[in-house]
A and B are shown apart, each in its own frame.
Chain A
Amino acid sequence: MYDTIIIGTGPAGLTASIYASRYKLANLVIGKIPGGTIVYAHKVENYPGLPGIAGAELGQKMMGQAKGLGAEILAENVTEVRKDQEVFNIKTESGKEFQARSLIAALGTERRKLGVPGEKEYLGRGVSYCVTCDGPFFRNKTVVLVGGSNAACSGAVHLSEYIGKLYLVYRKDELRGDPIWIEEIKENPKIEVIYKTNVTEILGDGAKVTGVKLDVSHDGTTDLETDGVFIEIGGVPASSFLAPLGIELDENGYVKVDEEMRTNIAGLFAAGDFTTKGLILQQTITACGQGAIAASSAFKYLKSK
């Protein structure tokens, strides 16, 4: 029986673990991706104290710190959560079962898909959701990047180091990344921004991507030749498996939390990108803050029992 089990090994979950360990709460952290979503960021320029750190390195440092304080970390997916009386029962994909007096859920988001024909078929063969993983495969080639947020804008700037030409395709009439990224994009001769346009299909020759179809003509045609399509249109909260508990979600599936990271279920706390609180600003630093508060709330909850 653990004092608390933390589901999610991203910044929110790992910070929760660090605080939980220092509160002397025996904790197990279960999560598939060591370091969480931040691991996919090429360079993090806005984490206080660590300017210019690689996302993977930042994730690794947090993992190391959590482990060093005594947390047990299991790299698996959680498949089931149940609450029986005051005890939470967790089951993982390998069939392992664990119990805890409290639970901190910090599952983050999964990459949102475009949902267009060709997207699944050409995954890994021209279609990618990870600029840092796959950018270098498109040296001197043409790529399309769909999106207009910070991740899309910084991704476009990073990609421009490799590619020959980049089309940044966004459905709105203005990019909404940090002004500092937008400036770099507008000054970069390799990047062309196409506004108020969507990709409706991803085309290929059977082996790899050859182009995309747009819903608005560009330069006289709706077909755009390209070697790669990077999709950065945000995330979808990974909250569905908590539904059987009767957890309150907002209309988009984000877990509702109060100021102390409490959910509507006693003993269940949540933090990070997949909470309504996280929606205000989905960043590593806010996820860490919420993780710390969640651990503190779990500690208070356990003390009151």
Chain B
Amino acid sequence: MNFTDQDFEAKVLKSELPVLVDFFAEWCGPCKMMAPVIEELAEELQDKIKVGKMNIDDNPATAGKYGVMSIPTLILFKKGEVVKTLIGFRSKEEILKEILN
């Protein structure tokens, strides 16, 4: 799942389920390494948490609004609010531990 500046409000802020957003860019090596982790998380968390990616080069407005100054950055949104921010590469287990608390 991919998010854009245009659909961020509808798909993320107004979502019933919590949403985990992975902010990435094409030129960032560790972000590429995160991609398969994000896909696995999306599968595993299907009905509990929505998981998607956001390319910060194509969508600078949202990244700027949430002060993303380092990638990869994962932000967990619940009812439109930021509840958790994870900066840097993490393993799937590390992410699960942080967001399922």
* Chain A residues near B (Cβ < 8 Å): 32-35, 39-42, 54-56, 59-60, 75-77, 92-94, 123-126, 128, 130, 132-134, 136-137, 207-208
Interface size on B, residues (CB 8 A): 24
Q: In the bound complex, do residue B72 and residue A133 qualify as a contact, i.e. CB atoms below 8 Å apart? A: yes
Contacts of B92 in A (CB 8 A): 75-76
New contact pairs (18) apart from A32-B91, A56-B29, A124-B88, CB-CB < 8 Å: A32-B89, A55-B29, A75-B37, A75-B91, A75-B92, A76-B93, A77-B94, A124-B85, A125-B69, A128-B70, A132-B27, A132-B30, A133-B29, A133-B71, A133-B72, A134-B71, A136-B25, A208-B67
Main secondary structure of the interface of A (DSSP, over half): loop
- Smallest CB–CB gap between A33 and chain B, Å? 6
Contacts of B33 in A (CB 8 A): 33-35, 39, 56, 59
Bound form: Cα–Cα A79–B40 in Å: 22
Contacts of A126 in B (CB 8 A): 69
Main secondary structure of the interface of B (DSSP, over half): mixed
Chain B CB within 10 Å, residue with most, of A39, A41, A54, A133: A133
Name 21 A/B residue pairs within 8 A (Cβ), A-sorted: A33-B33, A33-B89, A39-B33, A40-B30, A56-B32, A56-B33, A60-B32, A75-B92, A77-B91, A77-B94, A124-B73, A130-B30, A130-B88, A132-B28, A133-B28, A133-B29, A133-B71, A136-B25, A136-B27, A207-B67, A208-B69
Nearest A residue to B71 via CB reads A133
Contacts of B45 in A (CB 8 A): none
Contacts of A39 in B (CB 8 A): 29-30, 32-33
